[in-house]
């Protein structure tokens, strides 16, 4: 299958590197002109967690603005790997450029289908779970932060030929599969992603903060899971993490085991979340804000209270604007700022944890 990749960052660049290395024909575009120039001049370099590096060359990579007027995207599978808040713009740009037999695969954190469906027919769009870790560390260079599950699927649960073929093309990439419950996997990751976003409140390793602040992390996961339930979606475990057991409703042994697994998994990945790096290093708005706002809107529609999600969104916004500093105390402030305070968010006491 010929691939086109829109967004050559952490996710799209990692996927592009694998496809080129395994002999696939890849066209790519990215809005970062410096990144595109580096890839064109020196190739796309992927640095593994152990420090080893491998470079591939993409003969056809450009910025969207340099794309020839009226030219179609050369690819049957068009992977949209921009951050979720940019999927609307990316799919609007794509809408008149997709070939007759092509389809779009959404590859980002969260679920950006509500953005894509404004510009593309629903049956043109498939979705993916992305749980591997990576960062763009300089133009043309992506540093891997650890392996993770990658699954593709149709949103209606069909095991179609197109997603089966994509899964086969990525068979050597890691834990890759075609799923009949891709929405369940995406929502499982959304619960984990809310927890990872919360680790951006302090300058400390992801695994340490999750372990230290289990009560507030449990409250966040519970709220995401409640929204999924209201949507009629059954979340699935992600990379062996029993996502539903992160919520306070789970038995204590099951919840402890789920958190232990999550802490262990994140200990083997990059030390800081992408949300933290966006705020602290790149000085740019993160994908966490729009994602949390979308979750809150879904909660409003379902008449659900989500104080932890709303408090986290407010504090991340303050960090982005420079109105707040990274500190462990932000977690306690998050509890105090939520409607109902610790009575609403805390599970088993705060800040002592489980």
pLDDT, one tens digit per residue, over 25-43 is 999 999 999 999 999 999 9
Q: What are the tens digits of pLDDT across the range 129-180?
A: 999 989 999 999 999 988 899 999 999 999 999 999 999 999 989 889 999 9
> Residue 338: what pLDDT?
63
- Percentage of residues of the chain with pLDDT beyond 70: 95
303 burial (CB, 10 Å; 0-12 / 13-18 / 19+) is: exposed
Q: What are the tens digits of pLDDT across the range 319-332?
A: 999 999 999 999 98
Closest by CA position to 64, among listed 56, 52, 53, 73:
73
**Quick one: average pLDDT of 173-201?**
96
Domain ranges of the chain: 3-180, 185-345
Distance CA 331, CA 86 (A): 29
> Residue 349: what pLDDT?
41
Q: Does domain 3-180 have CATH number 3.40.50.720?
A: yes
CB atoms within 10 A of CB 34: 11
161, two tokens:
């030929």
For residue 194, pLDDT beyond 50: yes
Distance CA 215, CA 335 (A): 10
> Residue 346: what pLDDT?
52
For residue 339, pLDDT beyond 90: no
Q: In what order do the strands lie in the sheet with 44-47?
A: 53-56, 44-47, 141-146, 133-138
101 burial (CB, 10 Å; 0-12 / 13-18 / 19+) is: exposed
Chain center to CA of 49: 19
Lowest mean pLDDT among 109-123, 155-169, 337-351: 337-351
Distance CA 198, CA 220 (A): 9
CA torsion sign, 38 to 55 to 78 to 266? negative
Q: What are the tens digits of pLDDT across the range 265-281?
A: 999 888 999 899 999 99
**Quick one: average pLDDT of 286-314?**
95
Nearest 5°: the CA angle 273, 212, 320 is 40
**Quick one: average pLDDT of 250-267?**
94
- 123: phi > 0 → left, psi -120 to 50 → alpha, else beta; which? alpha
> pTM to 2 decimals?
0.92
> Residue 344: what pLDDT?
54
Quick check: 154 and 164 in contact, CB under 8 A? no
Average pLDDT, the chain: 91
Q: What are the tens digits of pLDDT across the range 202-251?
A: 999 999 999 999 999 999 999 999 999 999 999 999 999 999 999 988 99
Nearest 5°: the CA angle 154, 157, 158 is 75
Distance CA 335, CA 293 (A): 18
The fold adopted by the segment(s) 185-345 is 1.10.1040
Give me the residue label for tokens 């707040």.
324
> Residue 354: what pLDDT?
30
Q: What are the tens digits of pLDDT across the range 58-85?
A: 988 999 888 877 778 878 999 999 999 9
> Residue 174: what pLDDT?
85
């Amino acid at each position: 299958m010929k691939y086109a990749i829109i967004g050559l960052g952490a996710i799209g660049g990692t996927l592009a590197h694998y496809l080129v290395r395994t002999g696939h024909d890849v066209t790519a575009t990215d809005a970062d002109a410096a990144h595109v120039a580096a890839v064109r001049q020196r190739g796309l370099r992927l640095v593994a967690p152990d420090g080893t590096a491998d470079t591939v060359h993409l003969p056809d990579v450009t910025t969207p603005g340099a794309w020839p007027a009226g030219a179609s995207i050369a690819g049957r599978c068009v992977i949209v790997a921009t951050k979720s808040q940019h999927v609307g713009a990316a799919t609007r740009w794509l809408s008149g450029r997709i070939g007759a037999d092509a389809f779009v695969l959404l590859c980002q954190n969260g679920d950006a289908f509500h953005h894509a469906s404004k510009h593309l027919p629903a049956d043109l769009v498939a979705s993916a779970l992305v749980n591997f870790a990576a960062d763009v560390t300089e133009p043309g260079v992506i540093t891997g932060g650890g392996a993770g599950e990658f699954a593709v699927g149709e949103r209606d649960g069909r095991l179609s030929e197109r997603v089966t073929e994509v899964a086969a093309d990525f068979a050597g990439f890691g834990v890759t599969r075609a799923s009949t419950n891709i929405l369940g996997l995406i929502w499982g990751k959304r619960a984990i992603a809310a927890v990872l976003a919360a680790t951006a409140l302090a300058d400390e390793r992801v695994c340490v903060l999750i372990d230290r602040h289990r009560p507030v992390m449990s409250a966040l996961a519970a709220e995401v899971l409640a929204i999924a339930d209201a949507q009629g979606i059954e979340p699935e475990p992600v990379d062996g993490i029993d996502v539903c057991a992160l919520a306070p409703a789970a038995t204590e042994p099951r919840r402890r085991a789920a958190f232990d697994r999550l802490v262990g998994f994140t200990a083997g990945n990059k030390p800081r979340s992408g949300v933290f790096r966006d705020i602290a290093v790149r000085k740019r708005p993160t994908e966490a804000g729009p994602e949390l706002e979308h979750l809150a809107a879904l909660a409003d529609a379902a008449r659900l209270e989500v104080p932890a999600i709303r408090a986290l969104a407010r504090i991340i916004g303050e960090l982005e604007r420079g109105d707040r500093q990274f500190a462990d105390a932000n977690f306690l402030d998050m509890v105090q700022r939520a409607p109902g305070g610790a009575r609403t968010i805390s599970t088993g006491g705060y800040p002592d944890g489980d």
